[in-house]
Structure 1
């Protein structure tokens, strides 16, 4: 292990404070670094400089300090939930506006509304990887993320003044371009502070912002669309964009004073001992600190190349893309709810309970996944229940059965959330590679949203049998890909076990399956 660490250090120049002046790595060096980091992830305790509990006043004092640290972290990072709620509301409010004249006022025809939905993901895909690379380089998420949020809030407001398809198309494109900074950046921020056994629940807490937004957003949209028609001469759907965009800007201003930075750049709200504990926790969890891991690479560009040459990243990206296609019903949830034949207001209100149920299921599944230290089955089982929901919806027009199917579809988001935690667990180091991998996998998966925008054409309604058939197929493909990935991680863990037995080493890092 010492030899491998030394070899990696000699193959690259230690990173300086000005990362941009560092030499680049050749393709062979990148592939070698990827292989070496797989060993570093399996570091033994004596190689990471574990200071023990004495540094923190003994075992009991450390436990108290750790609980205090986690409470502080959870309180500050809880604002990410509100940001994510607004992120999704601003992204999906076009679907609610569609019920109150959005298409008619903008003179949309044919597939133009679907194009407005899909164009957002073009900008979203293009910006995620560069954004996370910039975030890792800056080390100041408390400034970077809220500033991006303010910009997308202003763009959302501008959507309310558009008068034609081209204007709406431009605002939707740039909305996705700026919103791209938030979700991969938030996942990377969580991975900087929480251990593997803590990450699933925290990812669920973050991701449940999207589930809550589907419930809460429908209720807010219902109130605005019913109460603001004709106010100051504007249609109600325009007020939807004005009000929700202004709320986003306000929360962004508050977030600047609440969001934490990374452990190595956090000051003021943590004591020096708490900062040291935060860093030590991550060393003990993975085997090497983020700072030491970053020293083994030469630049953010090297992190990019290490990520895109690792086949695990591509496997996860394909699996998530397939899952996202099956989850495309989310953007058309009001439309699917409307097939039950209720009024516009009742349709929006009926959207809330399934997403409330999905939130509870997601918390339960991710919490159990963390405790059990298992990921695959906690992904596969919710997807299977989602398939059951698609089958029910495709096979009957019975109102009660179709409403039950909406609950089963919505709960499949528990698999999506658990999957995100699996990504962070499976690519822990170096941070520059992890930042790119999280962004790349999430960005690549948005191709599923682009395709999903065309999976639900009006001509296939109200039964949408073909749409549900596509979702069943993509869900099944995702399960197969996840199983293949699980088998690969099993082989790596067995290799670790064999090495420990041959060299008489204590148990080191293990991938969660």
Structure 2
């Protein structure tokens, strides 16, 4: 028997289906699934999950970044804040936001998503509303810390949650559509802030306070409704029949997601994530696009304002930028799923973003800077979901993937603290220092993407040559250094993406 026959089928990329006996473990082999149309089932899942989760992320991103819009309507003047204090109020959000992402993802896996995600949203909606009644700088800082604490679980949680529903070649476009809510929130936030600002003086409150209050109340309502709308994991989802649940689990296991039928929490799965080189290189890739993302979203209205536009026109001019970024993000997500090569897409769009920021650094013309903003947006927004999909594609093991995704996203978000401080009033109107620092981060992402692509390709080649083969039962071949197992399924379950038959998506 050949080494290949011993190990079972090899997955060269996420687009190649395999047959596996692991579906017999937890995928209800006795259930007849012949009447299930897989394409219709996927559409059913898409309609049940994606629209509502995208709305939740739209509200989340709107809530965390609306302070940038509120600043244009005299937030800092009314609270008697200096520029430094304003930057601190932005910064503290990211500390609590980053710290709680990994534990939140572990709790999400242990608890029901319908309870955990909805509860978090309800609580951060309350914090958002309270921002509209603060009367001084210390209270604003305290509320921002709590806002970050409760918002921490949504983005990494939903990305992990979606990865538990879709094959590796299907996840990218869903992640892109979900994330595109951030671009929509950028466009919508500018329009909404411009409209709400007209309530200035109503109830004795300034326009910026009404921005926080109305957006916060909308989030509270959405959080309450989410208890009945958000579904749980595939093996317990109530909107699926037994046959449909079996199909979902079997197709995931056939895509080398061996833990799809369930996995018990073991600390070794969490330590595997910490010891994996992919986690650490992925963190550098993600920080290369996430810090620029927050800088862009927080300060775009201010940047446009400082090149010659007053508050409301500045907010309105952000709308076409975000709309364009949304379209590009979805196109990239679709193409990366269809054609693969997520690493090359990352590299190409990081380069595009770098060109945009070079223009912003050298330009002293408002129109040219506005063009540079479009290129910068196209080089930042598509890379976020593509990176998350790339990381998720290459991590097997339910708990390991939840921790890895949270670590990657959390490290990116802690650098949001940096993004809050790079556009200083002293550097107006062209903010050269801020643009240079963002360009530096983009360079980090570009280099790390190249390193990740090289290392993943080299590891695939080593597995092709049999250097990672395990000893399987009494069969010949393999190396005890790589582990000894009774059968292939045991090796898959124990080693996850380190199993010799697993191939990384490039």
1:321 paired with 2:287, answer: yes
Instruction: Determine which structure has the larger helix proportion and give its number.
Output: 1
Q: What CA deviation, in whole Å up to 9, does each residue of 1:352-379 have, x standing for no partner?
A: 0010000000111111101112111111
Q: CA deviation at 1:219?
A: 0.6
Would you say the 8 A contact 2:259–2:398 is kept in 1?
no
Q: CA deviation at 1:287?
A: 5.2
Would you say the 8 A contact 1:43–1:287 is kept in 2?
no
1:248 paired with 2:219, answer: yes
Match of 2:191 in 1: 219
What is the alpha-carbon distance in structure 1 between the residues aligned to residue 468 and residue 125 of structure 2? Answer: 56
1:421 paired with 2:389, answer: yes
Would you say the 8 A contact 2:20–2:253 is kept in 1?
no
Candidates 150, 160, 175, aligned match of 1:203: 175
What is the alpha-carbon distance in structure 1 between the residues aligned to residue 29 and residue 269 of structure 2? Answer: 33
Match of 1:511 in 2: 504
Match of 1:364 in 2: 331
1:96 paired with 2:69, answer: yes
Would you say the 8 A contact 1:43–1:288 is kept in 2?
no
List aligned pairs for 1:58-137, cutoff 5 A.
Answer: 58=34, 61-62=35-36, 64=37, 66-77=38-49, 78-137=51-110
User: What 5-or-longer segments of structure 1 have no aligned partner?
Assistant: 4-41
Would you say the 8 A contact 2:31–2:242 is kept in 1?
no
Match of 1:302 in 2: 268
Pair 358,480 (structure 1): closer, same or farther in 2 beyond 3 Å: same
What is the alpha-carbon distance in structure 2 between the residues aligned to residue 162 and residue 218 of structure 1? Answer: 22
Would you say the 8 A contact 2:349–2:383 is kept in 1?
yes
Would you say the 8 A contact 1:361–1:414 is kept in 2?
yes
Q: CA deviation at 1:324?
A: 2.2
What is the alpha-carbon distance in structure 2 between the residues aligned to residue 57 and residue 183 of structure 1? Answer: 33
Q: CA deviation at 1:345?
A: 1.0
Pair 276,337 (structure 1): closer, same or farther in 2 beyond 3 Å: same
User: What 5-or-longer segments of structure 2 have no aligned partner?
Assistant: 4-15, 470-476, 479-487, 489-499
Q: CA deviation at 1:55?
A: 6.2
Would you say the 8 A contact 1:120–1:172 is kept in 2?
yes
Q: CA deviation at 1:337?
A: 1.2
Pair 411,421 (structure 1): closer, same or farther in 2 beyond 3 Å: same
Would you say the 8 A contact 2:33–2:244 is kept in 1?
no
What is the alpha-carbon distance in structure 2 between the residues aligned to residue 509 and residue 302 of structure 1? Answer: 19
Q: CA deviation at 1:338?
A: 0.8
Q: What CA deviation, in whole Å up to 9, does each residue of 1:375-404 have, x standing for no partner?
A: 111111111111111111111222221111
Q: Under a length normalisation based on structure 2, what TM-score does the superposition of the two structures give? A: 0.86
Candidates 245, 248, 262, aligned match of 1:275: 245
1:142 paired with 2:114, answer: yes
Q: CA deviation at 1:318?
A: 2.0
Q: Under a length normalisation based on structure 1, what TM-score does the superposition of the two structures give? A: 0.85
Q: What CA deviation, in whole Å up to 9, does each residue of 1:185-235 have, x standing for no partner?
A: 10111011011111000000110011110001111111001x200001111
Q: CA deviation at 1:501?
A: 12
What is the alpha-carbon distance in structure 2 between the residues aligned to residue 238 and residue 497 of structure 1? Answer: 60
Q: Secondary structure at the match of 1:475?
A: helix
What is the alpha-carbon distance in structure 2 between the residues aligned to residue 251 and residue 512 of structure 1? Answer: 36
Would you say the 8 A contact 2:83–2:425 is kept in 1?
no
What is the alpha-carbon distance in structure 2 between the residues aligned to residue 501 and residue 192 of structure 1? Answer: 27
Pair 159,376 (structure 1): closer, same or farther in 2 beyond 3 Å: same
Candidates 137, 157, 177, aligned match of 1:185: 157
What is the alpha-carbon distance in structure 1 between the residues aligned to residue 244 and residue 261 of structure 2? Answer: 17
Match of 1:48 in 2: 22
What is the alpha-carbon distance in structure 2 between the residues aligned to residue 45 and residue 67 of structure 1? Answer: 19
Pair 49,171 (structure 1): closer, same or farther in 2 beyond 3 Å: closer
Pair 100,501 (structure 1): closer, same or farther in 2 beyond 3 Å: closer
Match of 2:228 in 1: 257
Q: Secondary structure at the match of 2:430?
A: coil
Q: Aligned pair count?
A: 461
What is the alpha-carbon distance in structure 2 between the residues aligned to residue 501 and residue 308 of structure 1? Answer: 21
What is the alpha-carbon distance in structure 1 between the residues aligned to residue 258 and residue 133 of structure 2? Answer: 51
List aligned pairs for 1:446-461, cutoff 5 A.
Answer: 446-461=413-428
Q: What CA deviation, in whole Å up to 9, does each residue of 1:93-142 have, x standing for no partner?
A: 1111100110011111141111111100111011111111111111x111
What is the alpha-carbon distance in structure 1 between the residues aligned to residue 397 and residue 240 of structure 2? Answer: 25
Match of 1:22 in 2: none
Q: CA deviation at 1:54?
A: 11
- Identify the range of structure 1 (163-172 vs 319-328) with the bigger mean alpha-carbon deviation: 319-328
Q: Secondary structure at the match of 1:256?
A: helix
1:397 paired with 2:367, answer: no
- The alignment's C-alpha RMSD in Å is 2.5
